[in-house]
Amino acid sequence: MTIRKIGVIGAGQMGNGIAHVMAVAGYDVVMSDISQDALDKAMAVIRGNMSRQVGRGKMAETDMEAAIGRIQTTLTLPDVAATDLVIEAATERESVKQAIFEDLQPHLLPHTILTSNTSSLSITRLASRTVRPERFMGFHFMNPVPVMQLVELIRGIATDEATYKACLGVVENLGKIAASAEDFPGFIVNRILMPMINEAVYTLYEGVGNVRSIDQSMKLGANHPMGPLELADFIGLDTCLAIMNVLHDGLADTKYRPCPLLTKYVEAGWLGRKTGRGFYDYRGETPVPTR
């Protein structure tokens, strides 16, 4: 199967990053969202990120303009369906994702592959709510998409080999590395990463260390580029909590129980960088720990 045109649903941090790398790789992209403001912001982010690549000598300005020209934006979901590959990158709520795929179905081309950028939800279950589970799989990019080299490819129980190979070909065309994961909660990256972040929150909750000492310990003691609480703020505490709930519910093991302090921060609306406060307060010139 030859993939030339790609639909991206969602113009947020993940969606605009996916549109960015696809356009740079030469694919025509149709990016949708429910808000024109979100689409306009996404295009501004894409142009800004590409401009930095030009400034670093990683891309010619003519290539940047050509890539931007390959991205079409739309508020109409059926426009996304008329593509070879759809990548859903909406919010990490299963009901939202299912509704999107149901709305897409009447407008899909016979050969269109459906994928989700979900970081933890069951691919088999999402696929079962569509008319083409054999042409459905997980296509999980890491954040920030233009920088991170890994893509998790997750086959549901019904995913056929042609669908997997087509998606693998796209990853290779992007110059990224694919990791094949089985369809179990959290897949590979988040099955390992999120319990570590959750344990860091427990360490804070129990008073073993404060925000700064916990992050410094992992950066300087384990050579992590970013501390776990700083990373949680970057990902979004609501996303971290959602993934921990998926792990806890799906694996029925108390070691995945979300820390009550993580729940409390989400209840407060302190979701990290995107809201200005999380484990750090980002409203000033430099981030300040909130505990």
Query: What residues act catalytically?
Result: 119, 140, 152, 190
Q: Which amino acid is at 186?
A: G
Residue 110 contacts residue 120 (beta carbons within 8 Å)? no
Cα–Cα distance measured from residue 258 to residue 149, given in angstroms and rounded to the nearest whole number: 28
Output b/e per residue, 177-200; b: 16+ Cβ within 10 A.
Answer: ebeebebbbbbbbbbebbbebbeb
CA distances from 219 to 18, 203, 271 (A): 28, 16, 22
Tell the residue number behind the tokens 């999402």, with chain if given.
126
Closest CA to 266 of 288, 237, 244: 237
Q: What residue ranges in 145-256 does DSSP mark as E strands?
A: 150-155, 177-181
Q: How far is CA 34 from the centre of its chain?
A: 18
Sign of the CA dihedral running 223, 224, 228, 230: positive
State yes or no: cis peptide before 144, omega within 30 of 0. yes
- Supply 137's token pair: 């799989």
- Number of alpha carbons in the 13 Å side-chain half-sphere of residue 239: 22
Q: Which amino acid is at 161?
A: E
Cα–Cα distance measured from residue 180 to residue 25, given in angstroms and rounded to the nearest whole number: 21
Using DSSP's 3-state secondary structure scheme, residue 1 falls into coil
- Supply 290's token pair: 């909130």
